[in-house]
Every structure is written in C-alpha cells, then in structure tokens.
Structure 1
Amino acid sequence: MPSLADFFSLRSERSFTPLRPRLAGLVAGLTVLAALTVEFAPAAAPRPSLQDVRANYAMRLPDVTPRGELAVYEGAPDEPAAHCDSLLGPRTMIALVVGQSNASNTVDPGYAAAEPVYAYAGGACHRVRDAIPGATGNKGSSWARLGDRIIASGLYDTVIFADIARGGSSILHWGPGGPLNALLTETLDALAAENMRPTHVLFHQGEADCLLGLSRAEYGVVLEAVLGDIRAHGGPASDIFVSRASLYLDPACGDKRNPTCYVACPAVTAAQTEAADPERKIFSGPNTDLLVPWFDRNDGYHFTDLAADRFAAAWMPLLVRDGLGTGLPN
C-alpha cells in the first residue's frame, strides 16, 4: 500500500524511493495543499462597526428612556439622607451598577440592609432599604444583600451603590449614540465631581440582546464601546465586572413553568466573557444563565429572593482580591 509520502509524491516516484526525495515530495505536496487552502478558504467575516450594529437594530429596540419608571424610595421614618462625603474613606466601596431589570429593583420581596450600605442618587446618599433610588422598579434588589455580605466579611466598612440600571435596556441603549449613554457618562462625571469615583463597576445585562438576536461580534463591538466610555469617565482605577447574562422567557411561548419556553444565547455570553482583560482591570462577573435557572425567576424573567441571595453570594469571591478593602492600591 502506498505510504502517506507517496500520496504527495510525483508520479515517477515509487514507494521505495529513498527517504530524502520522498520527504522532499511530501513537503512540496503539503506546500501546494496549504496554498490551495488559503486561496479557496472563505474570507473571515469583517468585524461590524458600531454604526452598522446600531443601524441593524434601530427599528427593533425597545423604548427605554433615561427616566424610565424610577424606583419610589420611601426610606426609613425620620432618617435624613447622609452627606456622602462623610462616608468616604480608604475602606469605602463605591459601586456603579449598570444594566437592565435584574440589576435594578425587581426582586420580590425587598430587603433592608443591616450594615452601613448606602445608595447614591441625586447628589445624596440614603441608607439602603429597597427599592434603591436611581434605578427602575419598585421592589427589591440584589445589591442590598451584597452590601451586607461585603461589610460582614470585613472587605469594606461602608458600601455605596450608585444604581442606574434600566429595565428592558439593550447594550445599544448604553453605547455611544444610545439614549442611556449620557446617563452613564454624566453619572460617572457627577461621582468624580464629588470625589466619589467608583472603586467598582458592576455590569449585568444581556437578556434584551438575546431577544433581539445580536451576534457575538455585534454585542462585543458595542460592549467594548460601553467599557471605553466607563473607563474614560470613571478613570483607570475602577475594577469593572461584566456579568454573563442572556436567559429570558420567550414571549411567544410565555409559560413560565415550562423550561422549554426559556431561551439563552451563548453568543451573547461568549462576548461578555471575551470582554474580560485583567491587565485593563476588566473581569468576568457571575454567569446568571447558570446561577439562576428558570425555576428561580419569579415571573419568568426576574430573580426570586433566594436567587438574589445566591447572586449576591456569587460576587464575593470575585471581589476578594489582593489589595481590595484595605486602602492599598490594587
């Protein structure tokens, strides 16, 4: 039987051709094959531009405005807002929260933080008793639960959340040219003006774009632009965490008790994972597609209180890194 070398040899050669000519024929054959592969291989799809992605989905984007249905914050009886500057120090965590409904106030029931956990909104800092001001929704959040865990662990002494999440928002709403982009950049500028640059940015969003059908490359292009704006306005010191999230209840099916009615988009979560770049202080957050299955979503979309507790717990090992919570440079 002819050898592999004979397959690439010239016709005049025989199976017992001396080794060196046979190897030469093999190399020549592989060279020709490689050239043909390069010549006839399909060209890689060009990376889409931000403008192209916006144009592709402009007519399908949900109507999300900067104001939205903002939380009604009742607070504690007779407890005035705190002066934010009185809360600042080397062991104060300031976390900007960006995203859609599962990053806002949609957990039922709500939660009142027991530790010194505050919410920043409108230039004032309030003790966190759900709902968190500044974000949409009028129920509870995962962040009050996370704040208690952070302080009880000794990681920080005080936590301030600036939550600007908007229910139903796409990554395109937050990107340059989107209706929420100014909310993002102006919030960062306001925090900087009050000497409150975030120590952390917690990004949790993706379900809307799974429904819209954004590809891995499309989502990645817009996310990169959002992260660029966060870095440009928030400064280089913040640790940015990008959660993986895409799971939603297909409205065409609508049965929240039927697991086959739920849709997840690996393309979206892959783009979110690819955004991580530790050298730029960008890290992966929890993957709620896996962490919060369909039966832990109280209306098919939003986290139950047990799921919110689990989500809060999942942040803890991600936030514990050398230098965090000690006042030392990261």
Structure 2
Amino acid sequence: MLFGSSFFSHLSERLFTRIRDRRAACVIGLAALVLLVSGLASASGDQAVVDAVYAKYGDRMPVINAQGDARGELAVYKAPADAPRIDCRELTGPRGMVALVFGQSNASNTVDPGYGATQAVYAYQAGVCRKVRDAIAGATGSKGSAWARLGDRIVTSGLYDTVLYVDIARGGSSILNWGPKGNLHALLESTVKDMRAHGLAPTHVFFHQGEADCALGLTRQEYQAVLKTVLSDTRRLVGPKPGIFVSRASLFLDPVCGNTRNPGCYKSCPAITAAQTAVIDPERGIYPGPNTDLIVPWFDRNDGYHFTAQAADHFAAAWMPLLAGGEAAGQPLQ
C-alpha cells in the first residue's frame, strides 16, 4: 500500500502513469467509437434522404439521353474538317490543366456563338483533341461555350500553359440524373475511364448545375444529400488530387410566365445555392465556383435561361480568383 511520499516514488509514478495512459487510451478509443458510430449514422441518414428524394421525385426526373439531350442533340465541332488534331498526351504534364466538366446547359454549348479560343485551349472527345471553337464536342447544345473564354484567361494569366476540356454537360439535367440512381451517373464513370485509357488524368473538375432542381422544388436537404453522393463518387473516380469546383446556380425563367423581358418571371432558389455552398470543403479539395445567380442576372440571358456573350465573359472572369485560390489552398500545379 502506498502512503505519503511513497506515492511519488518511481514505482508509484510508473503505476500512476500506466493507469493514466490506460484511461487516456480508453477515452480516445471511446471517442473514436463515437465518431465512427456518428459517421455511420450520418452516412446512413444521408442515404435515407437520397432514397427518399428518388422516391419523391423519380417520376419527375428529366428524361435525358446520355448520348444527347431530350432532342438527341450533341455538339458538332464547327472548325474546318482539316483542322489539325493534337496528340492529347502533349497537353498533359505539370503545366497542363485537364478539366472534366459536367452539369446542366450553362456548362454545355448554349452561349451566343462566334468565339474561338486564341490560346492553347483544347477540347477532347473519344480520343481526339482539337482547338476550342464555339461548341465543345461531347456536351449538348449547338451554340458556343463559356469555357473557351475561361481557357484563354487561364493561359494568358500564366496559371497553366495549356487547357484541355472534357465536357459532358447535358442540357436540362437534374442532380438526380447525375446521382446514383440517375442515367447520367454511368456517363460520368465511363468518361473518366475513357480519359484514363487515353492517358489523361483530370487535374480539375468543374460542376455547374441547379436550375432544373430549383424548378422541381427540391429542398436544401434533398439537393445537398444527392449532391454529396455525386461529389463522393466523382472523388472516387478522379482520385484525391484534382480540385473539384462547385458553382452556385438556380436561376431560371418560369415557363408559366414565359416573358423573357419581365424580371418577375424569373425564379431562383436560395435553398439550392445554400446546399451548393454547404458542400464546399477545401480540406477535401472541394472549392467554390461562381454564383451565376448573382453575376448573370436575368437581362444577361439570351433566351431567358442561357448566357449571352457578355455574360460568358463575366462568368470566365469570375472563375479566375477562385481557381487561383484553389491552387493556393492546396492545389499545386499538377
């Protein structure tokens, strides 16, 4: 039995230390168990919400053909037939951006046409890389793309020497289409596999979508739960390095009203943009994209929905500080 000064003897100190260490180990183990259980409960809760969302909205999910939009429309490359093809492997390396793009129509080819990239900005489809001019093959829409403008800015700024886009955006698509029970989920998977088969690894992922789900009426919790699964699956596919950038977007023209010149006919959903903001987590390599509800107002939409050339310029400019911030926050040049 230990008394008085003997309590502080080397033997008693070692005994006390062992007891303290065991208690600490138990506390740490218990904390880890609590975190594990809470994490599992959170994941289980998210899955329950996702299942409920598909049960609630599944019959209203937009009908989107993975090979095109509702009309089967995929972009056609408009450059001369003899335009040179670039060896895609030349566009990779430490100074090359390879950006996977997916989402809704404003991420595809719906901008007023007439813009060709002046810098080393290219688009990829089925193993072929060509200079970007107006519509980017692989995405829907037959007009122009805002990404050409962004690519020019990226190269001109010196952030990267070349930019290569792999754009699979589908006009009218909902987050449900890209989610685990949607038909575009397989398109996302097969695109990344095809890229890797041709020696291309994404350095960035740009996601721009939300208008369809504003129209469907998804709540913040519903949209956020499905978006989280989309981002988790994207991370699994592209690996840990690429930065994933999530735009905030929900503004659309209410077809019931339909007057493109009446600002009262436009609707936005703060719940959707709040959900898109909530998933931003730089520690996990998920960064904010522009908020197009704010930077592309109703009067800068060429048909009530899609960006004018001026709006596309604003969109491209808004990306630049966000991309630079993402690089500084842990996205070194690949």
TM-score of the alignment, normalized to the shorter chain, above 0.5: yes
In the alignment, structure 2 segments of 5+ residues that lack a partner are: 1-44
2:239 to 221, 235, 241: 235
Quote the Cα distance in structure 2 between the aligned partners of 1:228 and 1:245: 20
SS of residue in 2 equivalent to 1:257: coil
Matched with 1:115 is 119
Report how far residue 59 of structure 1 moved: 1.2
The match for 2:248 is 244
CA distance in 2, matches of 1:186, 1:228: 16
Report if the CA contact (8 A) 1:96-1:201 is conserved. Answer: yes
Q: Which residue of 2 aligns with 1:7?
A: none
Deviation by residue 1:80-100 (Cα, 9 ceiling, x = unmatched): 321101222210000011111
- How do 1:280-319 residues align onto structure 2 when only pairs under 5 Å count? 280-319=284-323
Aligned with residue 98 of structure 2, among 94, 97, 101: 94
Contact 1:76 1:129 in 2 (8 A): no
Structure with greater helix share of residues? 2
- In structure 2, what is the Cα distance between the partners aligned to 1:303 and 1:312? 11
* The one of 187, 202, 208 aligned to 2:206: 202
Residues 255 and 267 of structure 1: CA distance in aligned 2, closer, same or farther (over 3 Å) = same
Which amino acid in 2 is paired with 1:297? R
Deviates more, 1:85-94 or 1:280-289: 85-94
| Equivalence for 2:65 | 65
Pair 1:74–1:229, CA change in 2 (3 A): same
Q: Does 1:49 align with 2:64?
A: no
Provide closer, same or farther for how the CA distance between residues 319 and 73 of structure 1 changes in structure 2, counting only shifts above 3 A.
same
| Cα deviation 1:168-218 (Å, max 9, x = unaligned) | 000000011201001111111222233321111010000000000000000
| Aligned mates of 2:300, 2:326 — CA distance in 1 | 33
CA 1:48–1:261: 2 relative to 1, 3 Å = farther
Match of 1:36 in 2: none
Cα 1:153–1:193, aligned 2, differ >3 Å: closer, same or farther? same
Native 8 Å contact 2:94 2:333 kept in 1? no
In structure 2, what is the Cα distance between the partners aligned to 1:57 and 1:101? 20
Identity of aligned residues (%): 62
* 1:109 CA displacement: 2.3
Instruction: Name 2:25's counterpart in structure 1.
Output: none
CA distance in 1, matches of 2:278, 2:80: 42
Q: What is the rounded CA distance, in whole Å, between the counterparts of 1:176 and 1:244 in structure 2?
A: 21
1:184 and 2:193 correspond = no
**CA distance, structure 1, for counterparts of residue 75 and residue 326 of structure 2:** 35
Aligned-partner Cα distance in 2 for 1:179–1:77: 32
Higher gyration radius (CA): 1
Count of residue correspondences: 285
Whether 1:160 and 2:164 are equivalent positions in the alignment is yes
**Shift of the alpha carbon at 1:329?**
5.9
Q: Hey, what's the Cα distance between the residues in 2 that align with 1:219 and 1:175?
A: 10
Aligned to 1:22: none
Change (3 A) 1:46 1:77: closer
Q: CA RMSD in A?
A: 1.9
Sort the Cα spacing of 1:127 and 1:329 in 2 relative to 1 into closer, same or farther, 3 A.
closer
Deviation per residue, 1:34-65 (Å, 9 max, x gap): xxxxxxxxxxx998521211111111122111
For normalisation by structure 2, the TM-score amounts to 0.82
Superposition deviation, residue 328 in structure 1: 4.5
Alignment match of 1:103 (pick from 107, 122, 137): 107
The yes-or-no answer on 1:141 pairing with 2:162 is no
Which amino acid in the other structure matches residue 85 of structure 1? R
TM-score (structure 1 length as normaliser)? 0.83
2:61 counterpart SS class: coil
- What letter corresponds to residue 53 of structure 1 in structure 2? V
- What is the CA–CA distance in structure 2 between the aligned matches of 1:84 and 1:117, rounded to whole Å? 12
Match of 2:35 in 1: none
Q: Please state how far the C-alpha of 1:77 moved relative to its aligned partner.
A: 4.8
Q: 1:166 to 1:322 in 2, by over 3 A?
A: closer
